Amino acid sequence: MRLAVLTGPDAGRTYPLFPGSHRIGSSESADIVLPDRAVSRQHLILEVSEDGVRAVDPGSRNGSYCEGMRFSELQVRPGAVLTLGTTELKLVPEGEKSRAMPLSSRHSFGGLVGNSRRMREVFTLLERLAAGESDVLIQGETGTGKELCAEAIHAHSPRSKGPFVIADLAGIAPSLLESELFGHVKGAFTGANSDRAGAFERAHGGTLFLDEVGELPLEVQPRLLRALERRQVKRVGANDYRTVNVRVVAATHQDLEGAVKAGRFRGDLFHRLAVLRVVLPPLREHLEDIPLLIDTVLSRLGRPPSALSDQTRALLAQYPWPGNVRELRNVVDRVVNLGEEALPDIPDVPAHGRPMASDDDENTVPMALDLPFKEAKERLIEGFERDYLRTLLERCEGNVSRASREAGIDRVYLRKLLRKHGLDTSSS
């Protein structure tokens, strides 16, 4: 592990972090001296051990921050950026290039917005890779903007005039997956009444977005690998391969490396998909973007920034956002329509696994009528899905397999829906 100085008077310097204690401050006697007038003489202590790095602020005047949040004691994640005064320090894992990704001057890329360091690093990467032809893998928790990111890559690529086709692999019954992706010929199976092109063929000349690629069953993975390697697909029931000109952008909220280790995902397919990788940070790691995100959500709802009071904004800045930007959007939307009663409770404990929606949002359904049609419809459907799933789960006592039988929907798809609404209590 090394400590790289990203900004401030000493920008560009790096320090090795050996096990033990490192005192950081502006004092000449500190182990790591930062000649920054906004840094206290004894500003921060880093305790480096086998278990990782612990940062302790012994009471600096201006405080220590990690990704927008002030801390007095913190277990620091590798790659995290700490801010002391005007100096930003990055904890660089060994083996990683110490040069930080240059920061884009952008505050948005397509529909994604952000002015934090984390998001601007992502924008730099997106600017570079959008222009190319390589396939891309987007990773990130639910609601971090993976779909928005895929759309933006397409829109900024030389293929932007071509089609953008979405194949949601979690929403397709396993028996239909091959036909969805590769197409079928008439009579290939019961119900195949005519020839049909699959997603690959439909995306010819453009971009194919394979959403939730981690859900792809092992049996289908070799065929996807072949399609990626040869850029050729064979419709189910056909004998010949057709050549397609497609750029594939895949996304998953899953830990795919973990799935590879566990034997649920083929390593060769993973490496083929992850030629270029974009990791979208969870919102709790770029809380400083919340004001901009709130304004963006408000303007997308056709509301002025004044639609939310400073007090409400301050409350929203304290919430841990387990459902990331999607949850922020939903909360802002509810608060604007229903008032502050619709604010989520600020939990004392991290809110993972907690249902995202509170009980008072039943009212969102009738409110939707004054929104643009697409959003109103989306909201109505979301409200319906949530109510339906809650009742279903109650009836089935939380048993997902039973719930999937009772509702007549595929289990993988049900899980996806539960996750979307924060109702999935099992670990995934």
Binding site for ligand ATP (CB under 6 A): 111-114, 140, 142-148, 253, 293, 296, 325-326, 329, 420
Which lies closer to ligand ATP via its Cβ, residue 279 or residue 338? 279
Which lies closer to ligand ATP via its Cβ, residue 200 or residue 209? 209
Which lies closer to ligand ATP via its Cβ, residue 83 or residue 296? 296
382 near Mg ion, rule: CB under 5 A: no
Which lies closer to ligand ATP via its Cβ, residue 4 or residue 342? 342
Token digits of residue 132: 């190319």
Closest separation in Å from C-beta 147 to Mg ion: 4
Give the distance between the most distant pair of CA atoms in the chain: 80
Which lies closer to ligand ATP via its Cβ, residue 61 or residue 277? 277
Whole-angstrom distance, CA of residue 40 vs CA of residue 56: 13
Which residue of the chain is nearest ligand ATP when measured via CB?
Answer: 145
Enumerate residues 49-108 that contact Mg ion by CB under 5 A. Answer: none
180 near Mg ion, rule: CB under 5 A: no
Q: Which stretch binds Mg ion (CB under 5 A): 66-74, 147-155, 175-183, 219-227?
A: 147-155
> Which entry of ligand ATP, Mg ion, none binds 144, CB below 5 to 8 A by partner kind?
ligand ATP
Determine the Cα angle at 88 with ends 94 and 116, to 5°: 100
> Which entry of Mg ion, ligand ATP, none binds 7, CB below 5 to 8 A by partner kind?
none
> Which entry of ligand ATP, Mg ion, none binds 368, CB below 5 to 8 A by partner kind?
none
Q: Is 231 left (phi over 0), alpha (psi -120 to 50) or beta?
A: left
Which lies closer to ligand ATP via its Cβ, residue 10 or residue 168? 168
Closest separation in Å from C-beta 296 to ligand ATP: 5
> Distance of CA 152 to CAs 68, 120, 203, 249, 270, Å?
26, 15, 16, 11, 22
Can you list the pairs that 160-165 forms with residues at least 24 positions away whose Cβ atoms lie under 8 Å? Answer: 162/203, 162/204, 162/205, 162/206, 162/207, 163/202, 163/203, 163/204, 163/205, 163/206, 163/207, 164/203, 164/206, 164/207, 164/209, 165/199, 165/202, 165/203, 165/206, 165/207, 165/208, 165/209
Closest separation in Å from C-beta 37 to ligand ATP: 34
Whole-angstrom distance, CA of residue 84 vs CA of residue 78: 17
| Per-residue buried b or exposed e for 84-123, using 16+ beta carbons within 10 Å of the residue's own CB | bbebbbbbbeeeeeeebeebbebbebbebbbbbbbbbbbb
Q: Which stretch binds Mg ion (CB under 5 A): 16-24, 139-147, 261-269, 386-394?
A: 139-147
> Which entry of Mg ion, ligand ATP, none binds 140, CB below 5 to 8 A by partner kind?
ligand ATP
> Which entry of Mg ion, ligand ATP, none binds 379, CB below 5 to 8 A by partner kind?
none
- Total interface residues for Mg ion by CB under 5 A: 2
147 near Mg ion, rule: CB under 5 A: yes
Q: Which stretch binds Mg ion (CB under 5 A): 8-16, 85-93, 143-151, 175-183?
A: 143-151
The answer to whether 85 touches 5, Cβ cutoff 8 Å, is no
Which lies closer to ligand ATP via its Cβ, residue 166 or residue 176? 166
Which lies closer to ligand ATP via its Cβ, residue 88 or residue 215? 215
Closest separation in Å from C-beta 426 to ligand ATP: 16
Closest separation in Å from C-beta 68 to ligand ATP: 14
Closest separation in Å from C-beta 384 to ligand ATP: 18
Closest separation in Å from C-beta 258 to ligand ATP: 16
Closest separation in Å from C-beta 353 to Mg ion: 19
Which lies closer to Mg ion via its Cβ, residue 146 or residue 234? 146
Which lies closer to ligand ATP via its Cβ, residue 126 or residue 403? 126
Q: Which residues bind Mg ion (CB under 5 A)?
A: 146-147
